[in-house]
Chains A and B, each alone.
Chain A
Amino acid sequence: MSDVNAATLADFAASEASPPVRGYWASVGHRLRYDYATLFFLSVIIVVALLAICAPWLAPFDPTKTAMAYRLKPVGFKNFMLGTDDLGRDMLSRLLWGGRTSLIMGMVPVGVATVIGGFLGVLAGFVGGRVNTLIMRAMDIFYAFPSVLLAVAISGTLGGGIKNGMLALTIVFIPPLCRVAESATTLVRGLDFVEAARASGATTLSIILHHVLGNVLSPILIFASSLISVSILLGSGLSFLGLGVEPPTPDWGLMLSALRSGIYIQPLVCALPGVAIFITSLSFNLVSDGLRQAMDVKA
């Protein structure tokens, strides 16, 4: 009976072209290639990043040059394509230069925290026992404070400036990333395929690289990508409070706070930094969502 089934199955299979054996990451890329919404928002992020990178060549004016005669001018006024701010500085130039600081504030802390938090979390989850207790209880100490308060406290202690702001954000993001990595690793570690890998004589390192990381990396990366927009907003918040970027360095959050008072005079111009933050963080969130779908093998 089984032989008959096997034979018919074999004939059926022979008539079809065999699909290539695609590795996990190749299959993720394959699924992403047909997810047009995610590709669109990914290209938005790339455009924003390119604009920020090319700010020195694209910006028509010096972003810090003030002109009292041209304060709070509307969009399209003379050569100021996007108007001017409360000190008469060109908004377009400031938005381009501000994108640099905002994107750096968004991506660097999350990137560093992903590496550190992910490593600690996978270690805690895979080794378990006392190592787990030690690492996770240490993380709990950070959880005792609300993240905004913690960021404010750290950068307040260290003093202002973009470096200290990023350090503060990194410290804030390590515990949640560590926790996500730890819970995902603990879940995977208990599954039979890890036991089966051990039964085949694999070393712990090989098991982590081949069997744990592939299953753990996607929740970590998805969570991290959703944190980028949080980081941009938190960084803007720090700048807003005068703890992150210091004036006159342009930064979207700082610009938004400085232009608050002008909202009744030039609403459109004053909302522009907010629009920039909104578009960027929305794109990061939607790309993170697309990534989650692409990384799910069952999708």
Chain B
Amino acid sequence: MRLITERPDTRPTPAASRDRGGPQQPILIVNGLRKYFPIKGGLLQRKVAEVKAVDGVDFSVMKGETLGIVGESGCGKSTLARLLMHLIPKDEGELIFDGDPVDDIRGLSLRDLRRDLQMVFQDSYSSLNPRLPIQDSIAYGPRVHGVGKAEAAALAADLLNKVGLRPSMFGARYPHELSGGQRQRVNIARALALDPRMLILDEAVSALDKSVEAQVLNLLSRLKRELNLTYLFISHDLSVVQYVSDRVLVMYLGQVVEIGPVDAIYAAPRHPYTRALLDSRLSMNPLERMSEPPLSGDPPNPVNPPSGCRFRTRCAFAESVCAERQPRLAAADGGAHLVACHMADAESGHGRAGLSAPLH
């Protein structure tokens, strides 16, 4: 009889060998995801209202692609990211990761999901433990998953090399001894430490200055190629999203208003909100100088969103039908480009419905 039982080998298997569904199976399918945050008030702290942060979001992410998510501040992008990471519990909806529903009882356990799906946060400083040398921060994830101390340290050094930081120079440093760009490289290395198949980048380059941002973007595209990753790229910077994404998802007040291939969306947006967002970019051409903002005012309060189409209060083409019925996300041109607007639906009863390119 053996007195000392060996520790079970819980080391992550290589990412590629964890592919279950094959190349055609979307790596992530999100169905009807919903999250309302309660607002408590009064003496007894009872729920008086709800912030409808994410309200019925459906989309899927194909293997190896980069899906960009854009929208104004407060539209629910970061809540969506945290919901996907299961950092906050969802109210409703279904997540299917590579064919398996994420569910501890049947399907993919949370622990397994977190090996496959990792996240890079926006704030490069607060997302690193200030009292841990960065090498230990990177090695922490593998340690949690049962990798030995020496092996985890070697893995961390290897990852630092991969993100362009020399381990012998940077490994022993603390987060405050690094620049913002270097810290974000460390955060990327930390996210990669569990050998994930998909990364959620929540405004991961937004806080960096332009030249460093470009370096980190190049690093991300190199890593994606080398490690066969899938990215969910959340940003408010439309130019960056255009540069990195294969497909783009546009969110407004917790809902998806348009999703499609990046070229189709940037060349011919079908939703007036997308159009306004794209128009708000600064042009290099002085002849295209704007004096009127394409989109005025703040988004409505997500506690009490407008009836029907949520964008109608700021939409130049709003008609009575927009207040009555909520437009469904439906194919606009061909199959890949989906839009939730009555103008794109020939049978909606909207005055401009069925026009081939109503916004040009």
Q: How many of A's residues come within 8 Å of B, CB to CB?
A: 35
Tell me if A's interface is mostly helix, strand, loop or mixed. Answer: helix
Say whether A206 faces chain B, with CB atoms less than 8 Å apart. yes
With known contacts A22-B133, A214-B132, A297-B174, A200–B215 Cβ distance under 8 A: no
Q: Which residues of B contact A14 (CB under 8 A)?
A: 166, 168
Q: Which of B117-125, B254-262, B330-338, B349-357 contacts A (4 or more CB under 8 A)?
A: B117-125
Please tell me if the beta carbons of B145 and A201 are within 8 angstroms of each other in the complex.
yes
Interchain nearest-CB distance for A218 vs B (Å) = 8
Say whether A146 faces chain B, with CB atoms less than 8 Å apart. no
Q: Which residues of A contact B312 (CB under 8 A)?
A: none
Interface string of A4-24 (1 = CB under 8 A from B): 011001100110101111111
Please tell me if the beta carbons of B133 and A21 are within 8 angstroms of each other in the complex.
yes
Please tell me if the beta carbons of A200 and B194 are within 8 angstroms of each other in the complex.
yes
The closest CB in chain A to the CB of B217 belongs to A2
Q: Which of A80-88, A171-179, A188-196 contacts B (4 or more CB under 8 A)?
A: A188-196
User: In the complex, A214 Cα to B129 Cα: how many Å?
Assistant: 9
Query: Within the complex, which residue of A9, A22, A214, A297 is in contact with B166, where a contact is CB–CB below 8 Å?
Result: A9
Select the residue from B110, B119, B126, B215 with max chain A CB neighbours within 10 A.
B126
User: In the complex, A1 Cα to B140 Cα: how many Å?
Assistant: 32
Say whether A66 faces chain B, with CB atoms less than 8 Å apart. no
Query: Which residues 188-220 of A sit at the B interface, judged by CB distance below 8 A?
Result: 191-193, 195-203, 206, 210-211, 214-215
Please tell me if the beta carbons of A210 and B168 are within 8 angstroms of each other in the complex.
no
User: In the complex, A206 Cα to B144 Cα: how many Å?
Assistant: 8
Q: How many of B's residues come within 8 Å of A, CB to CB?
A: 43
Please tell me if the beta carbons of A18 and B144 are within 8 angstroms of each other in the complex.
no
Say whether B111 faces chain A, with CB atoms less than 8 Å apart. yes
With known contacts A191-B126, A195-B121, A298-B176, A23–B166 Cβ distance under 8 A: no
The closest CB in chain A to the CB of B173 belongs to A19
Q: Which residues of B contact A21 (CB under 8 A)?
A: 133, 135-136, 153, 171-172
Query: Which residues 146-163 of B sit at the A interface, judged by CB distance below 8 A?
Result: 153
Say whether B128 faces chain A, with CB atoms less than 8 Å apart. yes
Interface string of B70-86 (1 = CB under 8 A from A): 00000000000010010
Please tell me if the beta carbons of A215 and B169 are within 8 angstroms of each other in the complex.
no
With known contacts A13-B169, A21-B136, A199-B85, A211–B129 Cβ distance under 8 A: yes
Interchain nearest-CB distance for A119 vs B (Å) = 20
Please tell me if the beta carbons of B176 and A200 are within 8 angstroms of each other in the complex.
no
Interchain nearest-CB distance for B189 vs A (Å) = 12
User: In the complex, A272 Cα to B180 Cα: how many Å?
Assistant: 56
Please tell me if the beta carbons of A198 and B87 are within 8 angstroms of each other in the complex.
yes
Q: Which residues of B contact A206 (CB under 8 A)?
A: 144
The closest CB in chain B to the CB of A212 belongs to B129
Please tell me if the beta carbons of B219 and A2 are within 8 angstroms of each other in the complex.
yes
Say whether B342 faces chain A, with CB atoms less than 8 Å apart. no
Please tell me if the beta carbons of B127 and A201 are within 8 angstroms of each other in the complex.
no
Please tell me if the beta carbons of B132 and A24 are within 8 angstroms of each other in the complex.
yes
The closest CB in chain B to the CB of A28 belongs to B131
The closest CB in chain B to the CB of A214 belongs to B131
Query: Within the complex, which residue of B119, B135, B171, B215 is in contact with A199, where a contact is CB–CB below 8 Å?
Result: B119
Please tell me if the beta carbons of A215 and B130 are within 8 angstroms of each other in the complex.
yes
Say whether B63 faces chain A, with CB atoms less than 8 Å apart. no
Please tell me if the beta carbons of B215 and A201 are within 8 angstroms of each other in the complex.
no
With known contacts A197-B140, A199-B118, A202-B140, A215–B168 Cβ distance under 8 A: no
With known contacts A6-B164, A199-B114, A201-B111, A23–B133 Cβ distance under 8 A: yes
User: In the complex, A1 Cα to B171 Cα: how many Å?
Assistant: 23
Interchain nearest-CB distance for B151 vs A (Å) = 15
Query: Which residues 117-148 of A sit at the B interface, judged by CB distance below 8 A?
Result: none
Interchain nearest-CB distance for A233 vs B (Å) = 32
The closest CB in chain B to the CB of A11 belongs to B166
Interchain nearest-CB distance for B23 vs A (Å) = 26
User: In the complex, A202 Cα to B111 Cα: how many Å?
Assistant: 9
Q: Which residues of B contact A203 (CB under 8 A)?
A: 144
User: In the complex, A132 Cα to B29 Cα: how many Å?
Assistant: 37
Interchain nearest-CB distance for A122 vs B (Å) = 15
Name 6 A/B residue pairs within 8 A (Cβ), A-sorted.
A13-B168, A21-B172, A193-B126, A199-B118, A200-B144, A200-B194
User: Which chain B residues have a beta carbon within 8 Å of chain A's beta carbons?
Assistant: 82, 85, 87, 110-111, 114-115, 118-119, 121, 123, 126-133, 135-137, 140-141, 144-145, 153, 164, 166, 168-169, 171-172, 174, 176, 187, 190, 193-194, 214-215, 218-219
- Given A24-B131, A202-B140, 19 extra CB contacts under 8 A: A2-B164, A5-B215, A9-B169, A13-B166, A13-B169, A14-B166, A14-B168, A16-B169, A21-B136, A21-B171, A192-B121, A196-B127, A198-B87, A199-B87, A200-B114, A200-B140, A200-B145, A200-B190, A297-B174
Q: Which 5 A-B pairs have the closest CB atoms?
A: A18-B168, A192-B127, A13-B169, A200-B141, A21-B172
